[in-house]
Every structure is written in structure tokens, then in C-alpha cells.
Amino acid sequence: MSLLLPHLSRREMLTQAGAGFGALALSALLGQTARSDERAASPQPHHRPRAKNVIFLFMEGGPSAIDLFDPKPKIEELAGKPLPASFGPVITPMGEYDAPLLPSQRSWKQYGQSGTWVSDWLPHTAECVDDIAVIRSCYGEGLNHSNGVCQMNTGSILGGRPSLGAWVTYGLATENDNLPAFVVINNDGGKPTNGPRNWSAGFMPALYQGAELQSGPVPIKNLANPPGVSQQQQRSKLDLLHELNQQHAGPRSQQTELEARIRSYELAFRMQAEAPEAIDLESETADTFALYGLDDQATQSFGRDCLLARRLVERGVRFVQLYHGAGSKWDAHNNIEKNHGGLCKASDKPIAGLLKDLKRRGLLQDTLVIWGGEFGRTPMSEKGNGRDHNPYGFTMWMAGGGVRGGQTIGATDEIGLHAIDNRLHIHDLHATILWLLGLNHMDLIYYHKGRPERPTLNEGEPYTRIAT
């Protein structure tokens, strides 16, 4: 009996072989999806974590480093003069920039055993510098608020990628099944540039996106059962709704929003037991209220948000992001004295209160606190008394979560325009945050359309010297 295959024409052979190659590709894609699903089902850190939780204090609009953490005497010397050619040209959203240099009106002191420089706009934060690592050499590509905020949150100036909080949730999951793993609070009900895109899950399943809470006395609306509806009745309604949703979602597995909606109903039910206690600030002492500035109208709003953040991480929420000045309020194109003066007064004491409270409760060692905006501001003036956007060299700081306090990392040039020493791109910052949480940014992979996607777009390196 002959084992030879029947004669096939070239066309027939290519047709059948092509089908086989297609099956191989499908098998590979299914395998990649399975690996992403496996990661989601049993997330584990890649190495020993130094931090378990994150609180990201996002000063939306772009705070001015040279008026807060990075004093530049050279600007005093060149005040009112054009930008020296050796520092330029500088490209901004308005084109090439040649306005005269604007000196800072601030007074400066060195604080703590570390001697960290802080301006008189942040007297309360200055008390905490020995717990803070000030990073003066950050940079990115975002020239305007939309792409700057997008890059600081997702690593890219283009929308559509998962946010850092979503990657952390994907990589580590939650410590508390009765609360969201990733929470966002916009101060005073403001809406930051790009809105929910900043805390989106991008191409990952929608269940990893951030849950937005309201700033103010009622952070979570509609949490209680309707009048006359018992917990048992509510459970029965959700069971029926779950069954109907599963029937609907079965043939639509590619629509991750359906699965996220189903899980959100279940989470909302579980939150009815735990969330009211988590957001009930009235159980705090008068001393704690004073620490966060809740006894002062100027600091009350953001103080409430910071206190809520502490209560959330205390109960296992993995990533909390607070937007102060939501709606680009830190964007001081004119009258920076009035703009930054008011915003610093509103945020300084609450932020210092948060650091002090975390430390006295033993939470700071496990909680990484991050401060910063999407970029900084130029040393040149705009409209005579303001400053334009500066993504070329700006300051952020980190505290807790294994970070060695009392450091000043990197430097900008003599006028605070460009980062020149220990330059840390936003990808490096994200890699550092993930590293402190026990995640290797190159090993944290989600397969999207057959392509291995990573949180830092295959770029960046963690700055490991920041750790203790």
C-alpha cells in the first residue's frame, strides 16, 4: 500500500497549507490571551516589594519647580533679560519662546537634617523633607495639558493606553475584595484634562480601570439600598440580574465592558457593607481633623480628600489618585503669585498631614506617596507675571514605600529649564514606581492583538538608588 499522498496541484497545496498556518496563528493568539488571563487570575510580584499601596497626589496644570523645590539664583542675575542663546531655543505650544526671564518672588530655606531646599509657599511640606526624595530632573514630551497629563498617566502622549493605576491593578490585584482596587478623587468636583481617559484600562479589560469617587461629604452616591428594600431582597435582585447579564455576555466575550459591568454590580453590593465605614470621616478624632486642615475652610476640601486616601489604603485599596486643581488650575500663564499662592495654601497642610498621619500609624513604610503634575513651568515670563509649560526639566517627589527620604535627586541647568543630571524620563518614573511595588516593568505583559504590551512601551529603567 502506497504511503504517498494523492497528487495535489500547487493551488490546492497552498490553499490547504494556508489554512494550517491560520490555525497556528490562532493557537498562538489563544495562548497569548491565556497567559494574560493567567496573570490576571493569580497576580504575583516579580521581586520583593517595598511598597504595597500608592497615593498619587496629582497637581493638575503644572506646578512651578523653580518656585517650590528648585531655587535658581542665576535667574535673579538675569532677571528681565532674554533667554541666553546657550539655553535655547525653547519650543512651547505657542512656538519658539524668547520672553525675558522672570525671577521667583519666593524666599528659600533648607529644612531637616537633609538640608532640602523648599520655598515659603510650602512650610508644612518642608517639615517632612527627611521622609521625601525630591526628584529635580524629570522630563517628558508633553507640550500641552492633554498630551502631558496623558503621558504622566499612561506613558504615552497619545490616548488609548492603560493608565499606571490600571497596570498596577492588573499586576497585583486588590487586597480588599469589598472595595475598588484603583480609586480616583477629583478635588472640588473638577474634571481634569482628558477626563476618564486618565484612569482608563485602555486595551486591557475594563475591570482594571479606576473607580471615580466624588470629592466632598458624600464620595460614593447611591450606596444605600432604596427605602423599603432589604439586603436579602437586594441580593435576590442582583442574582437574577447576574443570570440575565451572563446570558447576554456569553456570546459577546470580546466586549470586556460587559464583564466589568457585571463585576461592578457585585462589587457595589459588597461595598454596601464596607464602604460606608471606609468613607465615614466622622469617626476620626479632632486632632486628625486639625492635622489635615479640616478645621480651616482654605484647606478643608483637599484635607478631606487626603484623609479619605489614608482610610482607603488602610483598608487595602491598591492605588489612590487625588487630582488637586482638577481642570488645569495649576496652569499659571499669568499672575503666578496669586495662582500658586492660593493652590499651595489649599494643598500644603493636607499633604503634610497625610505624610505625618501615615507615618505615625506605621503605614508610610508600605505606602508610596507621589507628588507632581504633568510638567513644570518655564523660567521665562508669560504675560509679564506668569510662566509657560516646561516638560524639559521639572520636579516631582516620592515618600514612603521603601524610598529613602532626605534625598535630592538630579538637577536642572542654572535657570531650571532643562534636566541635565540623573535625567529621569516619565518612563523611568513609572518603572521606578512599579519596581518599588515589586513589579518589573519589562516582565509585566498584557497581550493585545498578539502583541506583548508593557506599561512603559519597552522603555525606561527603574531608579533603584531611590530606595533605602
pLDDT digits (tens, 9 = 90+) for 180-201: 999 999 998 789 999 999 999 9
How far, in Å, CA of 450 to CA of 86, rounded?
Answer: 47
CB 182 within 8 A of CB 260: no
Give me the phi and psi of 244, to 5 degrees please. Answer: -65, -40
State how far the Cα of 44 lies from the Cα of 121, in Å rounded to an integer: 41
Confidence at 2, pLDDT banded by 50, 70, 90: very low
The residue with cell 480651616 is 296
- What distance in Å separates the CA atoms of residue 394 and residue 409, rounded to the nearest whole number? 12
Name the more confident of 4 and 326: 326
pLDDT category of residue 295 using cuts at 50, 70 and 90: very high
Least confident residue range of 136-150, 186-200, 392-406, 442-456: 186-200
With 60 as the cut, is the pLDDT of residue 267 above it?
A: yes
Least confident residue range of 69-78, 89-98, 292-301, 451-460? 89-98
SS3 of 67, please?
A: helix
pLDDT of 42 > 50? The answer is yes
Measure the CA–CA gap between 377 and 92, rounded to whole angstroms. 11
- Mean pLDDT of all residues in 26-55: 70
Residue 18 has pLDDT above 60, yes or no: no
Q: 39 is written with which cell numbers?
A: 496573570
Whole-angstrom CA distances from 268 to 124, 160, 181, 191 are 37, 27, 13, 23
Residue 312 has pLDDT above 70, yes or no: yes
Distance CA 62, CA 332 (A): 8
Mean per-residue pLDDT, 245-253:
68
Does 16 have pLDDT greater than 60? no
Lowest-confidence pick of 16-25, 89-98, 156-165: 16-25
Q: Is the pLDDT of residue 398 over 60?
A: yes
Reported in sequence order, the residue ranges of 105-165 that DSSP labels E, i.e. its strands, are: 108-111, 116-119, 132-139
pLDDT for 275? 78
Residue ranges of alpha helices (H) inside 101-187 are 123-126, 145-154, 164-172
**pLDDT > 70: what percent of the chain?**
78
Specify the higher pLDDT residue, 381 or 1.
Answer: 381
Question: Residue 25's pLDDT is what?
Answer: 38
pLDDT at 84: 87
- What pLDDT shows up at residue 86? 83
303 alpha carbon, distance to own chain's centre: 19
* Residue 116 bridge partners (DSSP): 111
- Report the phi/psi class of residue 409: left, alpha or beta, with left for phi > 0 and alpha for psi in -120 to 50: beta
pLDDT band at 28 (very low <50, low <70, confident <90, very high): very low
Instruction: Answer with the residue of higher pLDDT: 347 or 250.
Output: 347
pLDDT on residue 247: 74
Strand bridging mode 386-390 / 424-425: unpaired
Find, among 208, 221, 202, the residue nearest to 260 by Cα.
Answer: 208
Task: Provide the pLDDT confidence category of residue 228 given band limits of 50, 70 and 90.
Answer: low
CA distances to 82, 398, 406, 458 from 412, rounded to whole Å, are 19, 18, 18, 26
> End-to-end distance of the chain based on CA atoms, in angstroms?
75
415 grid coordinates: 535657570
pLDDT of the residue at 271? 65
Q: How far apart are CA 139 and CA 376, in angstroms?
A: 9
* All cell numbers assigned to 352: 503634610
To the nearest whole percent, how much of the chain has pLDDT over 90?
A: 69
User: Does position 137 have pLDDT exceeding 70, yes or no?
Assistant: yes
Closest CA relative to residue 187, chosen from 371, 299, 323, 373: 323
Q: Give the model's pLDDT for residue 188.
A: 80
Residue 263's pLDDT band (cuts 50, 70, 90): low
Residue 176: its pLDDT value, please?
Answer: 87
Query: Which letter does DSSP use for residue 347 in this model?
Result: H
Task: Report the pLDDT averaged over residues 19-42.
Answer: 48
Give me the pLDDT at residue 99, please: 86
428 to each of 135, 210, 441, 458, how far by Cα in Å? 12, 22, 10, 11
* Measured CA angle at 241 (ends 225, 255), to 5 deg: 120
Q: Summarize the confidence of residues 271-290 as an average pLDDT.
A: 86
What mean pLDDT, rounded, does the chain reach? 87
Give the model's pLDDT for residue 20: 47
**Amino acid in position 461:** E
